[in-house]
Amino acid sequence: MIAPPKPDLVTVNIDGQDIAVPKGTNVIEAARQLGIEIPHYCYHPKLTVSGNCRMCLIEMGTPIMDPATRAPIMDAATGRPKINWIPRPQIGCATNVSPGLHVRTDSPLARECREGVTEFLLINHPLDCPICDQAGECKLQEHSTAYGRGYSRFVEQKNVKPKRTVLGPRVTLDDERCILCSRCVRFSKEVAKDDVLGFVDRGSYSTLTCYPGKQLKNNYSLNTVDICPVGALTSTDFRFKMRVWFLKQTPGIDPESSVGANTEIWSREGAIYRITPRQNDAVNDTWMADSGRALYKQVKAADRLLAPSLDGATTANEMALKAVANLLVGRTGPVRRDDDAASPAHRAGAPYQGSVALVGSGRSSVEEQFLTKKLADALKTSAHLVSRVGPGDRILVSADRNPNVRGALVTGLISKLPAQQLTSLAADIDAGKVKTVVSVGEDLTAAGLSAAQLAKVSVVYLGTHRNATSDAAKVVIPTLTVFEKSGTFVNQQFRLQKFAKAVPGPAGVNDDLITLAELVAAAGGGIIPFELGALWAAIAAEVKPLALVTYASLPATGLLLDATPWAALPFCEGETLHFKPAAAANA
Amino acid sequence: MPYVVERKPLTLSERLYFPQILAGMRVTLKHLFAPNVTMEYPEQRPAIPVGYRGVPTLVKDPHGREKCVSCQLCEFVCPPKAIRITPGEIPADQADRAHVEKAPKEFEIDMLRCIYCGLCQEVCPEEAIFLQNQYSLTGYTRAEMVNDKARLYELGGTLPDRHFKWDKKKSAAEARGHAAH
């Protein structure tokens, strides 16, 4: 027997094993904790229970009580209480645990029930598996393998329904495949708060549809595709693109806002095919916004920067770095191949410090921001940062559209919150104080610098895509997108979360950390490791809040940092899922 | 460990030489009048037995419809990874085959990799890929040895189809459509 349960725990017996679970847990979740899977379609842990698929039927019973003593009657042979089994099966999803509850999940009755449900579901289900995008991750396919009969006894004509109903800009519905579980209906109502889906008609004519005059077009519509247990709701973007068993999954972080939704990046042979949410109950549950799923398209975008350039002409990486090194110490004249940034002769122009301005980014990872800080220190300047603010949707897109402003605070790159416009930098340029501007991935034109101001200075641009700044820059060094590198972000909860490299970067493009480490060396900041393991040792040694962290030991669901040093800052985020702004939380 | 080979001394008939010559001539004469066992390839071609596994090809059904739906199971099962498929959607405006929804945009089999195992044929749920009688495939470049979709259909031709699964599906849909209106 296990130890007596705590007051808020309830001991139940599932398939002969006792387990103590919190009150209010249903049988499916209790069984999951024991490693027993109760098959289900309509039940979803993050949605309300509807209990319409009947797949999770189980047998249950309670100990027989002696009416006189109110104590369970014990079975002399086994020494365990005698159980009064309910003669008919119950659904596991809508059955909450009660003290002494006994459950059989794999009895002949339960199996027979599942086989019956499976046979009924398959009556009208088309044999689309070879062309169905859900094949390979389809619950109906999995449970049919376990509980199907392998052949059909149905001799009548199968139901025919429309195969490509457009529900919204990103979702296409295959009505024939729908098993009417209503997960999508409940999701739209409960999580997306956009009640547009419903069933019409009766019996086998039942069809999922949008309410008249409405479309499934909210920014969370693709979550319905994720939770669809069959291939009925399909992503218009991913439809017929690739079979899921070819795809490799890499953990990522959604970089579109400071929520930092955990994602799974699905790629094959260096090409990303789709992005889906990864469960993190403290951040995004099992959801993510549609806008974050389309971001992978930037990897193969036509305006991607693929080679370094110097004065507008493509050059070798080495020459571009030498040119930057010269700019950082104020050497003029053409770049020579034998320039050596480390030589004393090279540093003859120094001290040039003060005339180089550095623009860091809230889109850079913590590691990149640490190196940017090192670069700022070497140049004896402080970095500017650009804030991006958009409307928050109170779910999983926050007002702060930079994923990692808090990382810049933690690493000490900035000490107060950034503004949306670089007005002080613009004033310095106009005053002639600044001769060179190094931008780590920020479009300076978008941040309020005019073309005339950019023309007055030498711009060094490190970035992924072509823009007005890269066009105006003296030196451009291409960098990697968030999908092509590993790193960490600090989200709005001050949760340090890591993402991994899903696909290799374009040939010849160096990792951002290598480029930044080279710039630090060129600016006289010494040699800093750029490999993540060694770099994290350096970060842990210098950045107090990250003292005990290593990249490798960071848990998949992130690590909550102590936010008190920055509690007084007026962050722009409003309330989102699992997040309350500090001001509101204190009130 | 050394192994001693025993060499028997020659027998009398062997030492006499002529009986051995005659025995040799007998074998020669026998083969001179026996039927040929070799073939004048390439002028003559062997009869290919049923179930022979030649070059993998894509076939069309008797109505000339492309059978492959690009499920990519052959690509998955292929041991030497010779098959490469780019799936594509059949646009809704192609009335005769839009109901199939999916077809390969590109289908390549690298014959330098193919080991003629026949697993692709075995796994195909649509009976669209067959290892047929073609056994001699040559080329001057590596690129020539990669059969693309057009070449695969040219090699495959048309095979009889007993099921017409998609036609049945279409007629069921049409019958239902008439009933509903």
Q: Which residue out of A243, A245, A268 would a mutagenesis test of the B interface target, given it has the greatest number of B Cβ atoms within 10 Å?
A: A243
Cross-chain CB nearest to A163 (options B69, B73, B101): B101
Q: How far is CA A69 from the centre of its chain?
A: 56
- Chain B residues with CB under 8 Å of a chain A CB are 69-73, 75-76, 87-89, 92, 99-102, 125-126, 169, 172-173, 175-177
Q: Per-block average pLDDT, block size 10, for chain A (587 residues)?
A: 66 94 94 96 96 95 91 87 94 94 95 96 92 95 94 89 93 95 96 95 92 95 97 95 96 96 96 97 95 95 95 93 88 70 54 79 96 93 93 94 96 93 92 92 93 93 95 95 96 96 95 94 90 94 92 94 92 92 62
Cβ distance of A131 and B101 shorter than 8 Å = yes
CB pairs under 8 A between A and B: 46
| Chain B residue with the nearest C-alpha to that of A245 | B76
> Is there a contact between A97 and A23 (Cβ–Cβ < 8 Å)?
yes
Which chain A residues are within 8 Å of B176, Cβ to Cβ?
157, 160
Residues A479 and A513 sit within 8 Å (Cβ to Cβ):
no
CB contact under 8 A, B102 and A158: no
> Do A575 and A394 form a contact (C-beta atoms < 8 A)?
yes
DSSP string, A387-406: --B----SSS--SB--TTHH
Question: CB-based contact (8 Å) between A80 and chain B?
Answer: no
- Cβ distance A130 to B172 less than 8 Å, yes or no, reads no
Greater pLDDT, A291 or B64: A291
- Coil vs helix vs strand at B76: helix
Which long-range contacts does A151-160 make (Cβ < 8 Å, 24+ apart)? A152/A122, A152/A123, A153/A119, A154/A123, A157/B172, A157/B175, A157/B176, A158/A123, A158/A124, A158/A126, A158/B172, A159/A124, A159/A204, A160/B172, A160/B173, A160/B175, A160/B176, A160/B177
Mutation for B interface: A154, A160, A207, A274, most B CBs within 10 A:
A160
- Give A313's contacts (C-beta < 8 A, 6+ positions apart): none
- Statement: residue B181 has pLDDT above 50: no
CB contact residues (below 8 A), chain A span 240-259, against chain B: 240-243, 245-246
The helix (H) or strand (E) run that includes residue B14 is helix B12-16
Nearest to A130 among B92, B126, B173 (CB): B126
pLDDT, residue A326, reads 87
In angstroms, the separation between the Cα of residue B150 and the nearest Cα of chain A is: 21
For residue B153, the 8-state DSSP code is H
d(CA B77, nearest CA chain A) in Å: 11
CB A128 within 8 A of CB A177: yes
**pLDDT score for A339:** 66
Give the pLDDT band (50/70/90) at residue B21: very high
Confidence at B1, pLDDT banded by 50, 70, 90: confident
| C-alpha neighbours within 13 Å on the C-beta side of residue A244 | 20
> Are A243 and B102 an interchain contact pair (Cβ–Cβ within 8 Å)?
no
Q: Does A152 touch chain B (CB under 8 A)?
A: no
Q: Tell me if B69 and A130 make a contact (CB, 8 A cut-off).
A: yes
Q: Do A131 and B175 touch (CB under 8 A)?
A: no
Domain ranges of chain B: 56-161
Is residue B180 pLDDT above 60, yes or no?
no
Nearest to residue A206, comparing CAs of A231, A181, A188, A228?
A181
Structure tokens at A240: 């017929």
β-pairing, A436-440 with A356-359? Answer: parallel
In angstroms, rounded to a whole number, what is the distance separating the alpha carbons of residues A288 and A291?
9
Contact A130 B71 (CB under 8 A): yes
Q: Which CATH architecture has domain A128-298?
A: 2-Layer Sandwich (3.30)
- Asked if residue B34 has pLDDT above 90, the reply is yes
Of the partner residues B87, B99, B169, the one whose CB lies closest to the CB of residue A242: B87
| Contact with chain B for residue A394, Cβ under 8 A | no
pLDDT for B94 beyond 90:
no
Give residue limits of the domains in chain A.
9-115, 128-298, 309-586
Nearest residue, CB atoms, A158 vs list B69, B72, B172: B172
For domain A9-115, give the CATH number: 3.10.20.740
- What is the complex's ipTM, to 2 decimals? 0.84
The confidence score (pLDDT) of residue A1 equals 47
Q: Do A240 and B89 touch (CB under 8 A)?
A: yes
Dihedral sign for Cα A531, A532, A537, A543, please: positive
- In three-state secondary structure terms, B172 is helix
When CB atoms are compared, the residue of B75, B87, B173 closest to A240 is: B87
CATH of domain A309-586: 3.40.50.740
DSSP conformation letters of A89-128: -EESTT-B--TT-EEESSSHHHHHHHHHHHHHHHHS----
Residues 6 or more apart whose CB falls under 8 angstroms from that of A521 comprise: A341, A342, A527, A528
On chain B, the residues whose CB falls within 8 A of the CB of A164 are: 92, 101
Number of other residues whose CB lies within 10 A of the CB of residue B77: 14
Partners of residue B85 on adjacent β-strands: B107
Separation of alpha carbons B130 and B124, rounded Å: 9
The partner residues of A440 in beta bridges, in order of sequence, read A462
Q: Say how far apart CA A198 and CA A180 lie, in whole Å.
A: 10
- pLDDT the model gives residue A6: 59
Whether the per-residue pLDDT at B161 is higher than 90: the answer is no
Q: How far is B173 from chain A (nearest CA, A)?
A: 6
Domain B56-161, classified CATH 2.40.50.100, yes or no: no
Q: Does A157 touch chain B (CB under 8 A)?
A: yes
* CB-closest option in A157, A163, A239 to B172: A157
Average pLDDT along chain A: 92
pTM of the shown model? 0.90
Name the band, by pLDDT with cuts 50, 70 and 90, for residue B64. confident
Distance CA A14, CA A108 (A): 15
Of B87, B169, B175, the CB nearest to A241: B87
Nearest to B69 among A131, A241, A245 (CB): A131
Distance, in Å, from the CA atom of A505 to the CA atom of A128, rounded to the nearest integer, reads 36
Nearest CA among A559, A522, A143 for reference residue A356: A522
Given an 8 Å threshold on Cβ–Cβ distance, is A131 in contact with B99? no
Structure tokens at A338: 């034998």
Strand partners for A386:
A419
pLDDT of residue A587: 47
pLDDT of residue A71: 87
- SS3 at position A452: helix
Quote the pLDDT of residue A78.
86
| Closest by Cα among A424, A354, A352, A422 to A387 | A422
By CA distance, what is A237's nearest residue in B?
Answer: B89
Q: Mark yes or no for CB contact A131/B125 under 8 Å.
A: no
